[in-house]
Each structure stands twice: as structure tokens, then as C-alpha cells.
């Protein structure tokens, strides 16, 4: 039987609860589809700090390289907020992304018909929204040098090289070819040199994709258009920090940040994680929404392992559960038949998948 090795990073806060449910679902579909998943647990973030003193242990760096894909929950929490920067949970995550070379962060923002009332936006504005945010993940101001904190001033550097922009643009154009063939590249080229550069390289890459329609939008306008008329977008291509902001904004179209998955791919092993954080305030209460993580597991099957049927089974199971009115608390106000705990929702999806 085909066996895949999956790195599992549960992380902090609600991380362990939601990852456990995703594994439950993965086990169900792998049995049904006749392949095998071997899990290898690794530490990252706060729990890594507690156990090893650093947020990204060397063992994790080496470990992920031996996997076919990595499933990740979430990290961080108030307990570790006041550590020095190099010891913080987030620094571990950024380091892991960099080590794994996962420069392309794919963040779908889609609206489940079943939850069209769950958003703060009007149903007519969001029904049918299907956006793919392609965010550059290992460059830009997140990693730019120099970066310094002094008594009287502090600064960071937003920098992009030609190769960094080119390769993320290629990812976006390849994805656009499989979708509606429209890319909106988001920058602030009217003010920033780094954005002007970004725009030029994207234009260059576009020449290899004559079928794809490319447009450009300033980031302030994009934040506005995502709220005004999100259906205008197919693929949004943008840099690290703009992508961070815009993908979180876009997540609100779906009604809850607890629903949306992400895939980070690049040179080698891919990293699959919900776009939400570790929600320390509700950790351990069993009320977290595991659907974003289960959805991330589906993206892992589809993009990293090429187990398309298994991925489809999960996506279908999620839709079915939502259509039947199963809801976790975060989406509990909308056409709910039954409010589920985290575990109950995992059970239902595993059952339907």
C-alpha cells in the first residue's frame, strides 16, 4: 500500500484540538481510498520553547525535510508574547517557512452557499465568491535586511529580488490558467520603488501567459474593492505583508476565519495550515472550528500527495455537514440545526468523507 509520511505540527492554543480532528478525517479517507499515512509529530512555537528553549528546534528543521508534506495547526499565545524577538513563536514559524522554502502561500477565499448568511457582508455581495490569494511568503519586509531596533528609531526593509518576484508570479499565472485566467497584482507602485519593481517583473512574466488577463491595483484600493465587490477577483497576486492583510480581509467574506485553509508550497515539501491563529482565549474548551484545518488537510492531499479523490471526499463531506446544519459556535448563528464541539464536527466529517 502506498505510504506517505506526514509531518504534524500541532502547535499552541487550539492547535492540538484542530489538528487531531484533521488527522481523524485523514485516517478515514486514507482507509477508504487505500493509502497509508504515517505521522511524525514535531515541535514549533510556544510548545517548542517550553520543551526545548527555542521556537524552531533543529530537529523540526531536519524532520520536515524527510516528509512528503507537513500539516500545521497554529502557534503563539500571551505566555510567550514578551520574549525577545528571536525567541518568539512567530519567529519560529517564519523560520520554518524560510527553511522549507515555501515561498508561495495559496489562500483561497470562497463562500460556502450554505453559509452565505454568516458573513457581515450582504449575501448578494458574496454569493459565489471564489478568490485565490497568492501571497509571497519568504521575502519582502518580513525577512528584509537590515532590520534594527534602537533607542530612538527602528526600521525594517521591504526588499524583493527579481527571482523572488518572478517565481511567485509564475505560481500565480499557473494557477490562473486552471481557473478563470484573471490575475490582479496588488502593490503600491505609486509610492514605493519595491512595488514599481514588482509590477515590472509581473508584466514580464505575463508575456509567457498571453491567455491570462493581468491587471494591477493599489493595495489601498484592493482592500476597498474586496469589501465593495469581491466577485470581481479571480487570482490576487501580492507580496508578503500586503498578502497577510488582504487574505485576512478576504477571509471575512466566508463568514468566519475558522473555515479557510492555506497551502504553502515552493521548492520542496509543502506546509498546510489554517489561516487563523491559535486563539488562546478558547483553547482547551473544545469549541474551536476544525474545518479550516480539515480543509488544509484536503489541500495537502490534493496539492502535495496528488490524492485528488480523497481531497474531493473531504470537501464534499464539509459541504454536506454544513448543508445539514451542523455548525461550530463561530458560525452557530446561521441556519444551524445543531451546534457541535470541535470533536463532534471532526466525527461528522470523518463519517461523511
Ligand X SMILES: CC(C)[C@H](C(=O)O)[C@@H](O)C(=O)O
Q: What's the min distance (Å) between Cβ of 76 and ligand X?
A: 6
Alpha-carbon gap, residue 352 to 32, rounded angstroms? 11
Residue 252 is given by DSSP the state G
Alpha-carbon gap, residue 23 to 16, rounded angstroms? 11
Residue 341 is given by DSSP the state P
Please list every residue from 214 through 243 that binds a copy of itself, using CB under 8 A.
219-221, 223-224, 226-229, 241
β-bridge partners, 11:
74
Among residues 113, 220, 229, 351, which one is catalytic?
220
The yes-or-no answer on residue 248 being catalytic is yes
DSSP string, 295-322: HHHHHIIIIIS--HHHHHHHHHHHHHHH
162 lies in the site for a copy of itself, by CB under 8 A: yes
Alpha-carbon gap, residue 87 to 75, rounded angstroms? 13
Alpha-carbon gap, residue 245 to 141, rounded angstroms? 13
Alpha-carbon gap, residue 72 to 96, rounded angstroms? 11
How long, in residues, is the chain?
353
Using CB distances below 5 to 8 A depending on partner kind, what does residue 152 bind out of ligand X, a copy of itself, none?
Answer: a copy of itself
88 is in an annotated binding site: yes
113 is in an annotated binding site: no
120 lies in the site for a copy of itself, by CB under 8 A: yes
Closest Cα partner for 147 from 164, 159, 136, 135? 159
252 lies in the site for a copy of itself, by CB under 8 A: yes
β-strands 104-110, 261-265 pairing: antiparallel
Other CB atoms closer than 10 Å to residue 37's CB: what's the count? 24
Q: Which residue is nearest to ligand X (CB)?
A: 90
Grid-cell match 451542523, residue found: 326
User: Of these, 37, 48, 121, 291, which contacts a copy of itself (CB under 8 A)?
Assistant: 121
Q: What's the min distance (Å) between Cβ of 353 and a copy of itself?
A: 29
Q: Which three cell numbers stand for residue 246?
A: 488582504
- Cα of 123 vs its chain's centroid, Å: 24
Residues in contact with ligand X by CB under 6 A are 90, 93-94, 190-191, 220, 244
Among residues 40, 174, 248, 312, which one is catalytic?
248
Using CB distances below 5 to 8 A depending on partner kind, what does residue 147 bind out of a copy of itself, ligand X, none?
Answer: a copy of itself
The yes-or-no answer on residue 315 being catalytic is no
User: Of these, 1, 53, 58, 152, which contacts a copy of itself (CB under 8 A)?
Assistant: 152
86 lies in the site for a copy of itself, by CB under 8 A: no
The yes-or-no answer on residue 50 being catalytic is no
The yes-or-no answer on residue 39 being catalytic is no
Alpha-carbon gap, residue 144 to 295, rounded angstroms? 31
Question: x/- contact string, 292-331, with a copy of itself (CB under 8 A)?
Answer: ----------------------------------------
38 is in an annotated binding site: no
Alpha-carbon gap, residue 254 to 260, rounded angstroms? 8
Q: Mark the binding-site residues for Mg(2+), compressed into ranges.
A: 220, 244, 248
Binding site for a copy of itself (CB under 8 A): 76, 85, 88, 90, 94, 120-122, 125, 141-142, 144, 147-149, 151-162, 188, 190-194, 196-198, 219-221, 223-224, 226-229, 241, 244-249, 251-252, 257
Q: Mark the binding-site residues for substrate, compressed into ranges.
A: 97, 107, 135, 220
Residues identified as active-site: 142, 188, 220, 244, 248
Q: Mark the binding-site residues for NAD(+), compressed into ranges.
A: 77-90, 277-289
Amino acid at each position: 500500500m502506498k505510504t506517505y509520511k506526514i509531518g504534524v505540527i500541532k502547535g499552541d492554543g487550539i492547535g492540538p484540538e484542530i489538528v487531531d480532528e484533521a488527522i481523524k478525517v485523514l485516517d478515514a479517507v486514507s482507509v477508504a481510498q487505500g493509502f497509508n499515512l504515517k505521522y511524525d509529530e514535531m515541535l514549533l512555537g510556544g510548545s517548542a520553547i517550553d520543551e526545548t528553549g527555542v521556537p524552531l528546534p533543529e530537529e523540526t528543521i531536519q524532520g520536515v525535510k524527510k516528509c512528503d508534506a507537513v500539516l500545521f495547526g497554529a502557534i503563539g499565545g500571551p505566555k510567550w508574547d514578551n520574549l525577545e524577538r528571536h525567541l518568539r513563536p512567530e519567529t519560529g514559524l517564519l523560520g520554518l517557512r524560510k527553511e522549507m522554502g515555501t515561498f508561495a502561500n495559496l489562500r483561497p477565499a470562497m463562500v460556502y452557499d450554505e453559509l452565505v448568511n454568516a458573513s457581515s457582508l450582504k449575501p448578494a455581495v458574496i454569493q459565489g465568491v471564489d478568490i485565490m490569494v497568492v501571497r509571497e511568503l519568504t521575502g519582502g519586509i518580513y525577512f528584509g535586511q537590515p532590520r534594527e531596533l534602537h533607542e530612538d528609531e527602528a526600521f525594517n526593509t521591504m526588499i524583493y529580488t527579481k527571482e523572488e518576484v518572478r517565481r511567485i508570479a509564475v505560481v500565480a499565472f499557473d494557477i490562473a490558467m486552471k481557473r478563470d485566467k484573471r490575475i490582479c497584482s496588488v502593490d503600491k507602485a505609486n509610492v514605493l520603488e519595491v512595488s514599481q519593481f514588482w509590477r515590472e517583473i509581473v508584466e514580464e512574466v505575463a508575456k509567457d501567459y498571453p491567455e491570462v488577463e493581468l491587471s494591477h491595483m493599489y493595495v489601498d484600493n484592493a482592500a476597498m474593492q474586496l469589501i465593495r465587490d469581491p466577485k470581481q477577483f479571480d487570482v490576487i497576486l501580492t507580496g508578503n505583508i500586503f498578502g497577510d492583510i488582504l487574505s485576512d480581509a478576504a477571509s471575512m467574506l466566508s463568514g468566519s476565519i475558522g473555515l479557510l485553509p492555506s497551502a504553502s508550497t515552493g521548492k520542496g515539501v509543502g506546509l498546510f495550515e489554517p489561516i487563523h491563529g491559535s486563539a488562546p482565549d478558547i483553547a482547551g474548551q473544545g469549541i474551536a472550528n476544525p474545518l479550516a484545518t480539515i480543509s488544509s488537510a484536503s489541500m495537502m492531499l490534493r496539492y502535495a500527495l496528488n490524492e485528488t479523490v480523497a481531497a474531493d471526499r473531504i470537501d464534499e463531506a464539509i459541504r454536506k455537514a454544513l448543508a445539514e446544519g451542523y455548525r461550530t459556535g463561530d458560525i452557530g448563528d446561521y441556519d444551524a440545526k445543531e451546534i457541535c464541539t470541535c470533536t463532534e464536527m471532526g466525527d461528522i466529517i470523518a463519517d461523511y468523507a
